[in-house]
Amino acid sequence: MMAHALGSMAPVSASIMPDASLRKTGLKVKRDAIEFNVQNRLSFDNKLWMPLPSVNLKRRQTPTQYQCKVVAMSVQQTAKNKVPVQPLELDNAKEPPLNLYKPKEPYTATIVSVERLVGSNAPGETCHIVIDHGGNVPYWEGQSYGVIPPGENPKKPGNPNNVRLYSIASTRYGDSFDGNTASLCVRRAVYYDPETGKEDPSKKGVCSNFLCDSKPGDKIQLTGPSGKIMLLPEDNPNATHIMIATGTGVAPFRGYLRRMFMEDVTSSYKFGGLSWLFLGVANTDSLLYDDEFNNYLKNYPDNFRYDKALSREQKNKSGGKMYVQDKIEEYSDEIFKLLDEGAHIYFCGLKGMMPGIQDTLKRVAEQRGESWDAKLSQLKKNKQWHVEVY
């Protein structure tokens, strides 16, 4: 889709005893089994966060034939005491950084961690990948990185592989809050022969498999950042943002929400509006960053709404599978009212999501006695309509 250098944080000494169960979003550890020696530690719901390189975690075994190489100590919890970030100079730029590194001269970054995000019953595998760019490839929320996988371009022998674009799933400060890392949300692309039903490794996604198979210390070639369509408008901190995602399309929205609800950006952005996320996936085990989103819901009930469309577990009003467009129709009166009041609406995910969504919005508009074409034209003119599909 379209650090290891963790700054000057104090050293951490940790002794970890794993809990009896593994959560699908990472390894669960008992708070009283961790001994800390840190001066400026960060707290999330009375749980302490530590930089990954200070922790020795055994590889998590996954139920599929593929194995992510490491489980990252991801920040999945948040509290009303927001996390201080640095350097705040990252908020001073007036324009987003664009194409600092190009395909012919990419930036060599380093993989920090790879974490399987989904449970055993999810179709396919999705990983959260943290990349150390050393502060040299800054970006804004809603932008994308290009990744050049190793190897030759099969269509152009002797040339490198083509660039693949991935939406960035973190804020400009990264998961380590120091401006040195960026995170990607990547689903491993595999191909199954329709006749035999068996996987054909020769047709697997080159870049997604490279990323999901990578391990800490591996090098990665980055281009970008790119994109302005999905930038989070911050001129009005009390604005309404309606976010509609399928699968890994949730990546930019994770960045938005961490900026709104997790980070303390004292110099600029203090969100006081409404953020409403619609996420469509196959089933509960396929939910991405669900713990983070549920904590925002708990701690900021007046500023965050979260609706899930689980196609293999829920039914729409007609008895069919529940998709994001069905959720949009369910709340259509509220959504149209918010759009009329200036709300921004974002769509990110597989391009196949848009026809169904457009049909639903058109039908709802007609039921309300409105012209959808005219309404859509006005939304685009007002820069309220943001779409990035792949």
- Residues annotated as binding site for NADP(+)? 167, 187, 248, 311-312, 321, 349-350, 388
As annotated, the active-site residues are: 166-167, 348, 388, 390
For the chain, the distance separating the N- and C-terminal CA atoms, rounded to the nearest angstrom, is 6
Cα–Cα distance list, 234 to 139, 178, 259, 266 (Å):
15, 21, 11, 14
Instruction: State the Rg of the chain over Cα.
Output: 21
Amino acid at 33: A
Residues of each annotated binding site:
167, 187, 248, 311-312, 321, 349-350, 388
Neighbouring C-alpha atoms within 13 Å toward the C-beta of 341: 13
